[in-house]
Amino acid sequence: MVALIPEESDDLFTLRRIMQKGDRIIGDTTRVIKQDRDFSRPDRGERIKIRIALDVEKISVDDVVDRLKVQGVIAESDNESVTKGSHHSMTLKIGEPITLVKKKWNDIERKLIFGKKDTGSFLLVAIDTADCGIGRLTGTHLKLMPNLYSGASGKRYKSKFNVEDFFKDVQGTISSTIRERDEIIIFGPGETKKRLGNFLSELPSVKGHEIRVIDGIDSSGEDGIYTFIKSETMRQALTKSKIAKVSAILDEIMLMVNKKINKFSMGFEETSRANESGAVQSLIFSDKIFENQDEDMVIAFLNNAEGKGVEVYAVDSTTDVGLRVSSLGGVVSLLRFSLAG
């Protein structure tokens, strides 16, 4: 029995790879309960939140990114109105805890679930005097907060603009968003970023979090966040992060394509053949891989590659690297040696 909280799309893909028919998951879900009482409509029930233990029959990656659909039979429930043995479907999402119960863990499942490396999570802040964009980067998953605007040129500050009033708004969003061990990365045009860094460093709400001010990004707001994610500045600043490693692998593959060096693969069939030959060194896949291939076949392929010592990375469409992998067939790999033909 293992308690889990998926933090990024990679974690949901990992769950898909380790969860099997016959496993049991325990978590919160909703179900429509029909009430037998006066004045209740006979054709409509009430949707309530319940906690259940579900014996898994089928698992699938949902059409919506960042969701995993699990179907099965209810074994236990905290609501007496829910019939044991009835079928139910649960949707697993990022940030929602579950407990996974398996009768036996094989070596790959143990490696996937217990060997996860902490790839770091970062609070990205792109600011100037006009606006501020804030996003949480966990692995390769980016979650953007709504843009904050200072109103520096509007009626609010018609007499005099005090940037610290804007900083307080920014600090409020950061405090409500930040998690333990998050590192705060601040960038943007001009000197505003440095002033914000000094302002935050004095506050107890961010005490214990490393704050870094980065030069080289000349835009703020949501555009600034996306510019940073795609930049060489990001890779230099977040050297050990998962997104930096994945970006480096993808750029190396693109360089080989341009130089016609045949030590890469693209697409499921080509990468699958390379894996069978033991040629794959590292592999990146996105949810696109599941669209045109049998899902169980894809899972078997990924687990087989992992068993051979291949570095396997999952990405999603929230960042540029995920979109690039999706455009290349949903899976690419670096090879240890070239394959004939």
Percent of the chain surpassing pLDDT 70: 91
Q: Per-residue pLDDT for 252 more than 90?
A: yes
21 Cβ neighbours under 8 A, 6+ residues apart: 56, 57, 58, 59
121-237: which CATH architecture?
2-Layer Sandwich (3.30)
- The predicted model gives 284-301 an average pLDDT of 91
Residue 83 pLDDT: 84
Strands 98-101, 87-93: pairing is: unpaired
Cα–Cα distance for residue pair 200/78, rounded to 1 Å: 44
Residue 170 pLDDT: 95
Domain boundaries, the chain: 2-114, 121-237, 242-335
DSSP character string of 184-244:
EEEE-STTHHHHHHHHHHT-GGGTTS-EEE--S----HHHHHHHHHTSHHHHHHTTTSHHH
The CATH number of 242-335 is 3.30.1330.30
How many beta carbons lie within 10 A of that of residue 252, not counting itself? 15
pLDDT for 315-333, tens place per residue?
988 889 999 999 999 999 9
Q: Any idea which fold 2-114 has? A: SH3 type barrels. (2.30.30)
Q: Which band of pLDDT confidence, cut at 50, 70 and 90, is reported for residue 3?
A: very high
Residue 37 pLDDT: 57
